[in-house]
A and B are shown apart, each in its own frame.
Chain A
Amino acid sequence: MALVGFSQAPRAMLQRAGVGLKAEHYRTILEERPDIGFFEVHAENYMCAGGPPHRYLSAIRERYPLSLHGVGLSIGGTAPLDRDHLARLKALIERYEPELFSEHLAWSTHGGAFLNDLLPIPYTAKTLAHVSAHIDQVQEALGRQMLLENPSTYVAYSESDYDEVDFITEIARRTGCGLLLDVNNVYVASTNQQWDPIAYIDAFPLSRVKEIHLAGHARRTDDKGRPLLIDAHDRPVEDIVWHLYAHAVALNGPLPTLIEWDADVPAWPVLVAEAAHAEEIMASRGRKGARHAAA
């Protein structure tokens, strides 16, 4: 494992919340210059030669910290990583110099088809070695540390013989990658898999977490009447997820926290209010962690 240039959120980002950057809000952000901790963009939305997205992102990048979040690398895929896609990521990172770069513990491409969803993998010794090798390759190609995000899942693999947190902990240990703790995913997966979400967070290697995600989910039941939560990103963060977030912040201290709202995108003030709420929680619950963050 060769690791160059640890990704390190600047201290200014530590106690701040950010929001996913949406085209609907470009103009408001540039005109009103709101006080917001950072913006996060999906890398693939800026993989174009030119055009308004780059014009807006360049102007916004000049004024705010930036987090780059990939959704298409298919790190959990059985196929080799797409080297062209890695090269595109590298070019974006060189162009925008984001403070953070993250991707998912999932796969999304098979046989040349991009399936546009974050699909689950079994947790076995074989997949652990495979995913770790892919993360090594990503970090070497990009010349920096990446953060790996825990997934939301709707099914389990009968062949899995690792607990999800143990699997992620071991990946981080082997590769030196950082982690992105998506608290909504913790709640969605825990509900769907009948795990205890508090125990999940308590067991999670929080010292490796460099960013937190929060989002809204949809609630339904499956054909056996069991709750089935969907990671929808189309509504406010649920109270239970705020509660879990406060728990994580109390354990670990404040961390750059992102509000993800990707569908039915609300008016700017609604999004900002969600970010402000995250900062209130960091201010009230994160004191213990101030020690940790300064360490």
Chain B
Amino acid sequence: MPRRDDPQRDFAEALLDPSLPPPEGLTGPDGEPSADRFAVYRNNVAVGLTDALADAFPAVRRIVGEEFFRAMARIHALAEPPASPILLDYGAKFPDFIAGFPPAAGLPYLAAVARIERAWREAYYAAEAEPIDPGAFAGLDADELPSLRLTLHPSLRLVRSSFPALTIWDLNIGDEPPATVDLTGRCEDALIVRPRAEVEARRLPGGGFEFIAALCCGETVLTAANDALEASADFDIAGNLVGLFEAGAIVAMVRERAPVVSETRS
């Protein structure tokens, strides 16, 4: 008999662990237990969650191939099923899982590519906000710039990789034949943002990651630039600010006193 306290517990546990027997009390039309029929549910769960990961990580899938991907995703799905019915959110732990998945150890950049894909997906579904007009900078006095704080787009994500992950990702999201990528000594920092309808991914110059990370924390342009210069002596503050504007990544500027522009719509 199913356990009295919660008859669905056995069912759920057996769905996720193929080594467990099917729960008692489930039958075919002849009233006899049917492991084969219970296996339909087991398969639905594993395939459905694997499909969800396959949708969310298309470049990882292309890099390792369909068979490897599905085997890897299935193991993760059964160990870490979604915590909510919103499958759009599923996959946050998959990059870390890949990083620790021994059969993928030969592709050390794979988890980094997965982190790009995860950031892309988060940006895709993030809240809306209207980027400010580039002309907004024109009304600023030069001496106001250091104390300026910027509100960045809610879809903005930063991904730091010790591999050229963005380059590899870019080569694997289309249908073009793969090209050779030189992995030696190439780190990449990526900015991923969806200012309007399209997600855009850009490679950041030296110091750009530290600069934007500090702005995200609410630091002033001056403090952020100092962080960036500490990381990269040739950090170009003007070039990085223009880059952020062009990416549509800034949604408001706040001077020391009052906001100059603050337009956000949900």
Contacts and interface: CB of A to CB of B under 8 A. Distances in A.
Interface of A: 44-45, 47-55, 71-74, 77-79, 82, 85, 88, 107-117, 119, 122, 154-159, 192-194, 222-224, 226, 228, 230, 263
A115 B12 contact: yes
B18 to A, nearest CB: 14
Given A116-B49, A154-B40, A85 B197 contact: no
B85 A109 contact: yes
Given A72-B85, A113-B16, A226 B28 contact: yes
A158 B28 CA distance: 9
B154 A49 contact: yes
Instruction: Report the 8 A-B pairs with minimum CB-CB distance, sorted nearest first.
Output: A72-B85, A48-B125, A110-B12, A49-B127, A50-B128, A194-B29, A223-B36, A113-B81
Contact of A77 (B8, B81, B82, B87): B8
B87 A192 contact: no
B81 A158 contact: no
A45 B86 CA distance: 7
B154 A230 contact: no
B28 A114 contact: no
B6 A115 contact: no
Given A52-B124, A77-B8, A228 B85 contact: no
A158 B31 contact: yes
B40 A50 contact: no
A154 B29 contact: no
B41 A117 contact: yes
Interface in B246-266: 266
A226 B128 CA distance: 52
A111 B29 contact: no
12 contacts: A48-B126, A49-B126, A49-B128, A50-B127, A51-B125, A51-B194, A78-B6, A114-B85, A115-B81, A154-B38, A192-B37, A228-B37
Given A48-B125, A78-B6, A156 B85 contact: no
A72 B86 contact: yes
A115 B15 contact: yes
Given A117-B48, A222-B36, A192 B126 contact: no
Most buried by A among B16, B37, B38, B124: B37
A142 to B, nearest CB: 16
A226 B29 contact: yes
Given A47-B86, A51-B124, A156-B28, A117 B45 contact: yes
Contacts of A113: 12, 16, 81-83
B39 to A, nearest CB: 9
Contacts of A73: 85
A222 B28 CA distance: 9
Contact of B87 (A44, A54, A110, A194): A44
A138 to B, nearest CB: 14
B20 interface: no
Interface of B: 2, 6-9, 11-12, 15-16, 25-31, 34-38, 40-41, 44-45, 48-49, 51-52, 81-88, 124-128, 154-155, 194, 197, 266
Which among A108, A114, A119, A228 has the highest number of chain B CB atoms within 10 Å? A114
Which of A47, A113, A193 has most B Cβ within 10 Å? A113
A253 B232 CA distance: 73
Given A115-B15, A117-B48, A52 B197 contact: yes
Contacts of A222: 28, 34, 36-37
A72 B40 CA distance: 19
Contacts of A48: 86, 88, 125-126
Nearest to A126: B7
A156 B88 contact: no
B109 to A, nearest CB: 27
B40 A230 contact: yes
B125 A114 contact: no
Nearest to B48: A116
Contacts of B125: 48-51, 53
A254 to B, nearest CB: 32
Given A113-B16, A114-B82, A157-B25, 15 more contacts: A44-B85, A47-B88, A78-B7, A85-B84, A108-B85, A110-B8, A110-B12, A112-B83, A156-B26, A156-B27, A156-B28, A157-B26, A222-B34, A223-B35, A224-B34
B76 to A, nearest CB: 13
A119 B11 contact: yes
A47 B82 CA distance: 15
Contacts of B128: 49-51, 54
Contacts of B124: 51-52
